[in-house]
Amino acid sequence: MHSWELVTAVDGPGTRMTTFLAGCPLRCLYCHNPDTMNARGGVPVLADDLLARIRRYRGVFRATGGGITLSGGEVLAQPEFARRVLRGAKDLGVHTAIDTSGFLGRNADDSLLSNVDLVLLDVKAGDETTYRRVTGGALAPTLEFGRRLAGLGIETWIRFVLVPGLTDHPATIGRVADYAASLGCVSRVEVLPFHQLGRDKWADLGLRYALDDTEPPTAESVAATRSVFRARGLITF
């Protein structure tokens, strides 16, 4: 595990205990937590110890409608740990969520997903060329995972990061919107404006940051992108 924090109004409904697991197969150019990319950036933690911590916050979760969100890194890089925590949290009556790219969606069998109330699915781009440029990986596993979630009826929030000069082309935005609208399980879309808050982390790790000169998108660009999703009937923030 890399770290954890209590947050409100992000990473799912209510107050969440967002737990960041270390290790991720993708190398997203805009990653604001590059220190979670490598599994060696974390420390060993027992599922039972994390569940003991979750148990202490049950009152907060009940009062706010919150719960536990397993994030990363990539949570599905550690499916057996995730399975134990998610099952234990459900046994405690705690709302569960995972924040994932879906790239390792095949690691999550139906048994694991049966203990997931909400998936925050990060769709990095709508076309293969842009997705590979952003992440270094392939788009198809994410699309396949989202369709599995729809088949299982698992509530899903789509997240899309708007990066000028990278993910802001109308063709890729339109494809993400069409995909989100096709699933039938998407209750919310979040268009997240790119920011530079993670730039210093890249430097501290001695990593080259390819977006050093990229400015955040304008308010007008963000609004226009959100309107593309809303035009498909999707609740979008």
Give per-residue pLDDT as tens, 136-163.
999 999 999 999 999 999 999 999 999 9
Q: Which two three-digit tokens encode residue 12?
A: 């799912």
Q: Is the pLDDT of residue 9 over 90?
A: no
96 domain-assigned:
yes
CATH number of the structural domain spanning residue 192: 3.20.20.70
Is residue 139 situated within a structural domain? yes
Report pLDDT for 87. Answer: 98
**What pLDDT score was predicted for residue 8?**
86
Answer whether residue 237 is part of any domain.
Answer: no
Residue type, 143: L
Residue 182 has pLDDT above 90, yes or no: yes
Report cis status (omega within 30 of 0) of the bond before 73: yes
Nearest-angstrom CA–CA distance, 132 and 138: 6
Q: Which tens digits make up the pLDDT trace of 35-61?
A: 999 998 899 999 999 999 999 999 999
Average pLDDT of the segment spanning 196-201: 89
The domain total for the chain is 1
- pLDDT band of residue 208 (cuts 50, 70, 90) is very high
Structure confidence at residue 39 (pLDDT)? 92
* Per-residue confidence (pLDDT) for residue 42, from 0 to 100: 93
pLDDT of 197 above 90 = no
pLDDT value of residue 28: 97
Average pLDDT across the chain, whole number? 97
List 202's β-bridge partners, or say none: none
Residue 175's domain comprises 3-230
Residue 76 in domain? yes
Q: Could you tell me if residue 40 is inside a domain?
A: yes
Query: Rounded distance, CA 48 to CA 213, Å?
Result: 44
Q: What is the pLDDT of residues 81-121, one digit of tens each?
A: 999 999 999 999 999 999 999 999 999 999 999 999 999 99
Q: SS3 of 50, please?
A: helix
Flag whether 165 is in a domain.
Answer: yes
Bridging pattern class, strands 95-100 and 67-71: parallel
Q: Residue 236 domain-assigned?
A: no
Q: Contact at 8 Å (CB) between 96 and 90?
A: yes
Contact 123, 160 (CB under 8 A): yes
Is residue 235 in some structural domain? no
Q: Is residue 135 pLDDT above 90, yes or no?
A: yes
C-beta neighbour count of 173 within 10 angstroms: 21
